[in-house]
Each structure stands twice: as C-alpha cells, then as structure tokens.
Homo-oligomer: A and B are copies of this chain.
Amino acid sequence: MSKKRTVRLECGKSTQVNYVLGTELSIDVYKPSPPGSQSFEIRFSPGVKCSILHQQCITPVAENATKWVLNKRTVLLVTLEKTSSDVNDNKVIVTFYGDKSDHPIDKMNLQLTAVSISLDVDADRDGKVEENHPNKASWTWGPNGHGAVLLVNCDKDEAFSSKPDNTDNLVNSLSDQKDMSRMVLRTEGPRFLQYGHKLQLYISASDRYKVRVFLKEGVRLVHVLGHQKLSFVTNYMFRKKEYDFFVEGLKFPDKDFDGLVTINLSLLESMTVGEAPVFTDQVVFRMAPWIMTPNTLAPEEVFVCSVANNEKFLKEFKAVVAKTKCKLTICPEYMNRNDRWIQDEIEFGYIEAPHKYFPVVLDSPRDRGLKNFPYQKILGPDFGHVTRTTDEVNSLDSFGNLEVSPPVTVNGKKYPMGRIIIGSAFPSTSKGRNMAKVIRDFLYAQQVQSPVELFSDWLAVGHVDEFMTFVPAPDKKGFRLVLVSPDACCKLFKKLQQEGHGEAQMFEGQNTQSFKINELLSNKILLEENAYVQQCIDWNRDVLKKELRLDEEDIIDIPVMFTLDQEYRQAKSLFPDMVNMIVLGQHLGIPKPFGPLINGKCPLESAVRSALEPLGLDCNFIDDFAAYHLLSGEVHCGSNVRRKSFSLKWWNMEM
C-alpha cells in the first residue's frame, strides 16, 4: 500500500507541493469547491496520474476525460512516476462548472515537484543494498522472509585498540567498517526545491544504546546516530545524491530487547512558522543472534590449557587433535593461572549477516584463573566477545553446563540449529543452584536455539556435560545422545562377577585407592546411591526424549558409576566419566576409565568402543586421571572447541 498524503487546494490559488515518488496525494475536491459547483474537470501534465475516489470506488482519469459530477465525498488521487527535472514541472488543474453551463466558475491549480527519497538497506538479504524494498520497514523469518540484519560489532579489528569496536564512536579501519551493515539514503530530483526542506534521520531514545550510525563523508566516517545522538539533519540538495551510512549493532538481543532496531527518516518542509513533516520512511534491522555450534559441526580450533601437572595428558590430547585438521591453541600457564577448566570459562559461537560472519566467544561470569583469557587473547580481528556478569556466581554458571543439541524436529517444529541445553535445580529446588538469570535470559533471547532446561543440581559440580553429550552418526537423525548409565555399569560389573572376575580391580597401577568389582557390588550404599543417580539421569533422559523427540534408538548408554559426598549428597563419578569426552568429527577424546583389566583389556573401554565404533567413531582414551579426574573434571571440562558455522542462515529459519 502506497503512503497516502492529504493535500489541500484552494480555488483561485496555485498550491505548490513537493511530491515523493511512491506516495499518493489525496485531495478533497468537494470542500474547496465554489458555491454552485455541479461538476468538475481535471487536466494534468503527461507525467501525472489522476484517479477519482468516490464511495470506495477508484476510477482512473483519462487525459481527455469529460466532466465529473461533484459529490460530497469526491477525492482526487494523484501520483507521479518520474522525478522532476525542474521545480513545479508537473501540473494538475481542477476546474469547477455550475449547473448546465460550460462556463467554468473557478479553478484550483496544483504544481508538483516530484522527488525520490528512499532510505535503503539490504532487506532481501543478498548482501547488496537494493533500492526501496517494499518490505524494508518490517522483519519476517524464513526463506521468503525479509528484513535487514545487523551484527553486534563486538570484535576488535585493530591491534592497538584495548576494547571491542562497538565501544567507541569511531570507525577504526576498513575491517571495522566491514562488520557494519550499509544503509543508503537516496535522493533524486531538481537541484533545489521550492521551499526549504530538511532530511532528518532519527532513532527512538530506546534504541540509542543498541545501534550506532556513521555517515561516510569522503574518506571520513562521521558518527551521526546512537548514544547521545538521536537525530541527524541535512538540507535537501543536489540533483541526485546517495548518502552512504554504516550501521553497527551495540547490544545482543536480551530480556529487554527483542533484537529489532528501527531507523526513521522524515522529510520536513520548512514553513514560515515551523517545520512540518511531509514524508516519512523507515527501515528495520534485526540484530544477529549469538549461535552455538553442536558436536556434529566440524571442529576448526581446539583449546586446552597447559598447567603444572598435565604434561602426560597434553601429549595424549595433542595426539588426538593431530588426527584432525584443527588448529590447536594451548593457553599457557601465565595466562590460565593454573585454571585448567577452559570448557567452563568460555563457549564459542558465532554471529552472521548476509555480508559478514565471525565467531564470538561468550565469556562466563565464572571468572577464575582463566578470567582474562577470553577478553585479552580471544577477542581480536573478526573474533568477537560478549559476556554477562553477576555478583552471585555458582558452579552451574560454568559453561560445562551449557551445551547445544544437533538439529532436531519435535512434533513438526523444526530446530535446524538445535536446542541449547542448560542444567538447573529444576525440578527440585532443594539445593537451589541455577545458572545465573542474566545468562539464561541472554540465551533465551537469541531465539534460534530455544533452550531446554535439565536437572543437573544433583551433581556436586552440577554440569550437564557430566552426564550427557552428542556424537555424530551416519544414520537415523545424524547423531546419538550419549548418556551415562550407572545401571549399565552395574550390569556390566555383575556380568564380570558372574564370569569369575569379581576380584579384578579398578585403578590398578594408579596412584590412588583401588576397588575390586566384588567390593563395589557388595557396597549396598554405593548401589543405592547409583540407583538414585540413575533416577535423576532417567528424569533427564525422559525430558530429552520429549524435548528433542528422540527414540531409544537415538540414545547410547555409557557405563559410569557415581558416588555421593556425605555432606551435600551430591554426585561425582567414581572413575573417569567417559561421557565427558571431546568430539572432533569422528575422533573422540575419551577419559580413560582405568577399569578392571580382564585378559589385559578394560571392559569399560570395550563397552564404549562397541557402542561407538559401529558409528564410524574413533575412540581414543586419554589419561586425565591425576590432572583432571581427581580435581572433579575430565577431558571435556579441560578443553574447548571452536567449530564451523551452520550452512543454514539463521534468518531462513521458520519461527
């Protein structure tokens, strides 16, 4: 629907109007008609199109149309299709006639100057700023959707900068500019207009900290909107002009921000006594969400920490990474300050617009030894950083407690980028540990990976990666959910006992207390604890089956036993927790369980191999016993992976 504009004419007077292409002038013919008028005639110059609107019926006016009967609600609609070369070069004359007479009583004269004004963005998401997209002022999802995209400019393109690019009102470099979305204000028409006209670009006060706009003036980029600047005014001028703007996002979608930002344009006519709006235009951007990458996406870079006692672990870990084409980044001790839990400090994700993509690290409020690593070392050119902070941090705020499923479809609803998984005190609030609300709000607000909350507070550390992971698979849904199973472990040990291996020992040769299978199976408290743990895991299993629409066939049970601490009755794995693995394509780095050796072989490892190898997965057992397991973590807790992005563009999701 074209924008309508009411224009008023007067008999015996020439009214000069600046017409903006794409609008429709609505002119009441009856009210200004002189007394005695019965009919009227319309004459207009070639570029003009006129129609008569009467009782909701629109009739085009032919060039040589005869007279029209004058009725009370007769409205003349006027449009033009080309910009004017000169001021007032289009004309419409309405002549009034009385009863049975060819002698005109009076006439009204409209002089039109047609200009083209359009605020433009890449509303069709092809990386180019097209001209006047019909839907540029709204935003819809899906392959047939429309609406421009903005990136939070949260990387740091210049080495000398100390802060991310969106924290200053400068465009530091071409790289910085490339992270921004182009916006063009196109004007065309005669060199000058009849009256003074101003073009005003403005944003609402509530968008001031969400977006910043720069105007390209020669080689300079001048900050014109955002923060203290709510509007930018320029005089209309020049036959044809393109104002080049660059727009950067400042803030990710969040609880109080749905992600949409509007930039408005007004054409103001300077009248003797004030400035009156005659035309408005609008564009809408959606801030690109922060997107997590599931284990099924190809790894690109692996992170691990070098600490005092993990040399042996590092060697075995490197060997697994060497099987892949991944870059390996080892965070040195001076930087990690003996904090080896790099899974917990950061989560890698990315942001994407049609014109640009870059990874973004989400920095946990956990902030132990690795606190400065993400901001000081990961933040950089085309590598963004975002964080949320809170005063009250607990173990569930660590990002071992933040995972994402592979793509799933649940009762017809598609989640082509998977669903975020976080652990909570839910459904029992007895201990009451939950991930910080600022983080959960942030995750929910990204919209594209609708979170599922699991029950992880039954664990001492309390992270979902202690009882679940996902591995790629060539069949079915393209992945398997891998869950720990005390039940499977008890069954395995009983079988070994029945086969006469009851005296075989766990942890043999390790510098720790060893257990015989017979001892484990005769420890009634331990068995009760594991029955309890199994119930907690089964509750999560049932939630995951429902929320990810999984069948039993999509789930692999991995034998692990747990034990509860006496004080809080929270669970820790009794031996290295094999589900806490690193997944690098088909190569898995799995904590070595140090199970009882039967004929020189570990039946725990064998159980895992026989479950995973048929999927084409390569099981590598890494000794993390002393350096990780005894400190309540494993391989996954001690590593991190930056992965390839989804090939699907998030704006093509159906929401």
Contact = CB atoms under 8 A, between A and B. Distances in A.
Contacts of A32: 491
Interface string A84-120: 0000000000000000000000000000000000000
Contact of A552 (B73, B271, B538): B73
A292 to B, nearest CB: 22
B202 A564 contact: no
Given A3-B542, A31-B488, A75-B552, A528 B273 contact: yes
Contacts of A488: 31
Interface stretch (A261-269, A305-313, A336-344): A261-269
Interface centre among A264, A428, A455, A546 (most CB of B within 10 A): A428
A143 interface: no
A5 B427 CA distance: 15
A538 B5 CA distance: 8
A280 interface: yes
Contacts of A531: 271
A487 interface: yes
A318 interface: no
Interface string A530-547: 011011101101100110
A460 interface: no
A275 B430 CA distance: 9
Contacts of A529: 273-274
A481 to B, nearest CB: 13
A136 to B, nearest CB: 16
Interface string A260-294: 00001010110111111110100000000000000
A217 interface: no
Contact of A277 (B230, B427, B434): B427
A256 interface: yes
A542 B6 contact: yes
A541 B205 contact: no
A241 interface: no
A553 interface: yes
Interface in A429-459: 429-430, 432, 434, 437, 455, 458
A434 B28 CA distance: 32
Contacts of A28: 552
Interface centre among A8, A266, A280, A532 (most CB of B within 10 A): A8
A423 to B, nearest CB: 14
Nearest to A264: B427
Contacts of A429: 200, 202, 230-231
A355 B379 CA distance: 56
A455 to B, nearest CB: 7
A205 B428 contact: no
A234 interface: no
A64 interface: no
Interface residues of A, number: 72
Contacts of A535: 269, 271, 276-278
Contacts of A455: 277
B6 A275 contact: no
Given A273-B525, A411-B1, A552-B26, A6 B538 contact: yes
A255 interface: yes
A356 interface: no
Interface string A54-77: 011000000000000000010100
Nearest to A56: B551
A4 interface: yes
A496 B28 CA distance: 21
Nearest to A271: B532
A546 to B, nearest CB: 7
Contact of A437 (B206, B532, B534): B206
A532 B273 CA distance: 7
Contacts of A75: 552
A414 interface: no
A569 interface: yes
A628 to B, nearest CB: 26
A569 B53 CA distance: 36
A411 to B, nearest CB: 7
B1 A427 contact: no
A446 B535 CA distance: 42
A546 B3 contact: yes
A535 B455 CA distance: 61
Nearest to A258: B255
A264 B543 CA distance: 15
A266 B428 contact: yes
A551 B4 CA distance: 11
Interface in A567-584: 569
A7 B552 CA distance: 13
Interface centre among A55, A427, A539, A546 (most CB of B within 10 A): A427
A491 B28 CA distance: 13
Contacts of A564: 273-274
Interface in A330-372: none
Given A268-B428, A273-B528, A278-B539, 4 more contacts: A4-B542, A73-B552, A200-B429, A231-B429
5 contacts: A4-B546, A7-B538, A31-B488, A256-B256, A273-B532
